[in-house]
Copies of this chain bind each other. A is one copy, B any other.
Amino acid sequence: MQKINNAGVCTPLGYSASSAAADIKGNQKGNHDLTLLYSEVPFQVAGVFTKNSIKAAPLKHAIKSLENNKEYSAIVVNSGNANASTGLHGLEAVDTIVKAFEDGLSTGEGSVLMSSTGTIGVKMPVDKVVGKVDQLIDELDDCNSDKFAKAIMTTDTVTKEFGVLVETDNGAYVVAGATKGAGMIAPHMATMLCYITTDALISAENLQTVLQNAVQPSFNSITVDNDMSTNDTVFLLANGMSGIIPEMEQFQEAVNYVSLELAKMIVKDGEGATKLVTINVKNAAEKEDAKKCAFAIANSPLVKTMFYGEDPNWGRLIATVGASGVKCVEEKIDMFFDDLAYVKNGIIIDEALEAKAAEIMKKPEISITIDLNMGTSEKTVYTCDFSKEYVSINADYRT
């Protein structure tokens, strides 16, 4: 398995995309905010959606559609409007938009899915979207991965794409994807959209299993601000055009790899983030315990501002461990900053180590390991620091 440079959703065989400026938010100034992803042969699809009880209209549509159907031809995505908390108008908007694309593409009823991201509680401007259907279909091109990745962005500052080539005895297939998300990212994949495409030949049922396995250590192990949106969606599409029936373990590995790389890109581009921080909790008494502790640290504003301030203040970390409710004994806790053993049995090993720890805190990527010495469970989560820019972005921007 090898990384493909500049890969995106159109890298596997048969996929094309296009994007347009539909001015959905009303102040987009020509930014592309609408995109179409199409496969020349129908694809099987798996989906994982937000666990938020308030779900956006396109998610309600997709969840219902996927109950009966697993084969689709296209996905339309808009930014600038979440189409969430929009009542009946929101559901009718999805129906109208999806129907317009199905008619334009002549792919038949039930062949198009939709996702939305942007402000919650504002009516979707249906006419603006429908007015771009013909243009989007005309401009479909397999060179447009980047256009797709760009049109789905909201407060993201960079596009996020990653892909791998998987060699098999019978030939090669590709797994590639694009994602967006910068704020409102938490377990259960808050305000993030992700589209992973492959030209491997695989059933919708197997796809669903693989996707569910892949989101746990990736999209469900990242956090920017512990918020969970109404719109989070990960789709995995397989159109079979490579003709390769993948070996399941290898395919899982490829989807895991692509998912984790995309998930880390989200954290790195977290709103106002300047650092990617990996939190490892080791030797917890139970699996749930390890998770609780790792997320408590990853979500603590005091810890996150400490990373922004580049201060190796292990006292805030140990206080957060204690506050997390994890089973722990103060005198058993060890702590590492990258590979530096810094705290042993609950106290600092040597105050002279602080200078070394301070050097580590200056790095753009930092790993913190908490060894609870209580059992054998572990959990790794990825987070970012908390900066003044986060506050600026979220005080001024309407999510």
Residues on B with beta carbons closer than 8 Å to the beta carbon of A119: 313, 315
Residues on B with beta carbons closer than 8 Å to the beta carbon of A227: 300-302, 319-320, 323
CB distance B391 to A391 under 8 Å? yes
Q: Does A143 contact B (CB under 8 A)?
A: no
CB distance A328 to B53 under 8 Å? yes
- State how many residues of chain A have any CB contact under 8 Å with chain B: 64
Residues on B with beta carbons closer than 8 Å to the beta carbon of A122: 315
Residues on B with beta carbons closer than 8 Å to the beta carbon of A330: 53-55, 85
CB distance B319 to A54 under 8 Å? yes
Residue of B nearest to A345 (CB): B87
CB distance A319 to B391 under 8 Å? no
For window 342-369 of chain A, which residues contact chain B by CB distance below 8 Å?
345-348
CB distance A392 to B388 under 8 Å? yes
Chain copies in complex: 2
Q: Does A309 contact B (CB under 8 A)?
A: yes
Q: Given A54-B321, A300-B227, A315 and B390 touching (CB < 8 A)?
A: no
CB distance B53 to A314 under 8 Å? no
Residues on B with beta carbons closer than 8 Å to the beta carbon of A183: 302
- What's the Cα separation between A114 and B86 when bound, in Å? 56
Q: Given A121-B314, A226-B300, A305-B394, A319 and B52 touching (CB < 8 A)?
A: yes
Q: Does A64 contact B (CB under 8 A)?
A: no
CB distance B395 to A230 under 8 Å? no
Q: Does A228 contact B (CB under 8 A)?
A: yes
Residues on B with beta carbons closer than 8 Å to the beta carbon of A188: 323
State how many angstroms separate the Cβ of A227 from the closest Cβ of chain B: 5
CB distance A347 to B390 under 8 Å? no
Q: Does A184 contact B (CB under 8 A)?
A: yes
State how many angstroms separate the Cβ of A273 from the closest Cβ of chain B: 12
CB distance B190 to A311 under 8 Å? no
- What's the Cα separation between A398 and B310 when bound, in Å? 11
Residue of B nearest to A348 (CB): B121
Residues on B with beta carbons closer than 8 Å to the beta carbon of A347: 85-87, 121
CB distance A302 to B87 under 8 Å? no
Q: Does A229 contact B (CB under 8 A)?
A: yes
Residue of B nearest to A320 (CB): B227
Interface centre among A313, A323, A325, A396, by most chain B C-beta atoms within 10 angstroms, is A323
How would residues 75 to 98 of chain A score, 1 for a CB under 8 Å from any chain B CB and 0 otherwise?
000000010111100000000000
Residues on B with beta carbons closer than 8 Å to the beta carbon of A230: 318-319, 322
Q: Does A49 contact B (CB under 8 A)?
A: no
CB distance A228 to B323 under 8 Å? yes
CB distance B52 to A85 under 8 Å? no
| Extra pairs beyond A53-B328, A55-B330, A308-B391 (20, CB < 8 Å) | A53-B326, A84-B319, A87-B331, A87-B347, A121-B314, A183-B302, A186-B323, A229-B319, A229-B323, A230-B318, A302-B399, A305-B395, A308-B395, A313-B399, A315-B399, A386-B391, A387-B391, A387-B395, A388-B388, A391-B391
What are some 18 contacts across the A-B interface (CB < 8 A)? A51-B323, A53-B322, A53-B325, A54-B319, A84-B315, A84-B319, A85-B348, A120-B313, A120-B318, A121-B313, A121-B315, A184-B319, A305-B390, A306-B395, A308-B391, A311-B395, A387-B395, A390-B391
A contacts, CB < 8 Å to B: 51-55, 82, 84-87, 119-122, 183-184, 186, 188, 190, 225-230, 299-302, 305-306, 308-309, 311, 313-316, 318-323, 325-326, 328, 330-331, 345-348, 386-388, 390-392, 394-396, 398-399
